[in-house]
């Protein structure tokens, strides 16, 4: 008995196999914003507390009071209203709906080197995914008056960020780095714990304002 082999050319084989098209998953909006710093009053207005300063500015703009003690942090909870377009399954028409989502601002009270402990507790309590988290910190390798946004990356030389990476066991979370520059005449540890100079304060405040404007695209 001879079994006849059916031959299909290359182009026919492509047509016989329907291509699976992956739908692009929309990025999740940020729901937890953590500013890094040290809790003692003596660290107020120092370069190392830029993250705290950022949260103070943001909380004022969003009218969120950051006073609640939980998860080794001071936190504040508010709601963000944003428009979202959805297709009505009955009519097929596009409708605009107002979506109300919770957002939490946090200032860890663990001291900088143990910031990861606070972030981990917040993530566990509120069941945030890593792509819903944003960390705000200072960066000596960025010129004062500028900022950078990244969606992932290592902790680099920043002790607070390194501790967060270590405890979350991941580098896949968003961060905004506020540039503080450096003073070559000073030891690094002394510089970051020193009071922000009048000249740099103005530059850093402007950078934080721009960073907040950009942040709106990530939460709305």
pTM across the whole model: 0.83
Residue 204 in 3-state DSSP?
A: helix
Mean pLDDT for 95-101 is 85
Does residue 64 have a pLDDT over 90?
yes
Please give the CATH number for the structural domain made up of 30-219: 3.40.50.1470
Can you tell me the distance from the alpha carbon of 51 to that of 53, in angstroms, rounded to the nearest whole number? Answer: 5
∠ Cα 70 125 32 (to 5°): 80
Q: Sorting pLDDT into bands at 50, 70 and 90, what band is 105?
A: very high
Q: What is the pLDDT of residues 115-156, one digit of tens each?
A: 999 999 999 999 999 999 999 999 999 999 999 999 999 999
Q: Sorting pLDDT into bands at 50, 70 and 90, what band is 59?
A: very high
Mean pLDDT for 181-186 is 91
Does residue 95 have a pLDDT over 60?
yes
Q: Which two tokens stand for residue 141?
A: 């390798």
Q: What is the pLDDT of residues 6-40, one digit of tens each?
A: 444 433 433 434 434 343 445 778 999 999 999 99
């Amino acid at each position: 008995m001879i079994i006849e082999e059916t031959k299909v050319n290359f182009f026919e084989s492509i047509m016989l196999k329907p291509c699976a098209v992956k739908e692009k998953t929309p990025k999740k909006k940020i729901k937890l914003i953590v500013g890094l710093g040290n809790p003692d009053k003596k660290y107020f207005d120092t370069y190392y507390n830029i993250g705290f300063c950022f949260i103070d500015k943001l909380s004022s703009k969003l009218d969120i009071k950051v006073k609640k003690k939980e998860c080794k942090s001071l936190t504040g909870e508010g709601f963000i209203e944003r428009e979202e377009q959805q297709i009505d399954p009955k009519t097929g028409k596009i409708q605009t709906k107002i979506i109300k989502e919770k957002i939490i601002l946090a200032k860890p009270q663990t001291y900088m080197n143990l910031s990861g402990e606070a972030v981990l507790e917040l993530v566990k309590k509120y069941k945030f995914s890593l792509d819903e988290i944003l960390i705000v910190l200072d960066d000596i390798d960025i010129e004062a008056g500028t900022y950078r946004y990244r969606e992932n990356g290592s902790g680099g030389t920043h002790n607070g960020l390194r501790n967060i990476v270590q405890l979350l066991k991941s580098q896949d979370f968003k961060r905004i780095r506020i540039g503080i520059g450096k003073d070559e005449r000073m030891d690094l540890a002394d510089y970051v714990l020193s009071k922000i100079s009048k000249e740099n304060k103005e530059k850093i405040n402007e950078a934080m304002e721009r960073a907040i404007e950009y942040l709106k695209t990530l939460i709305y």
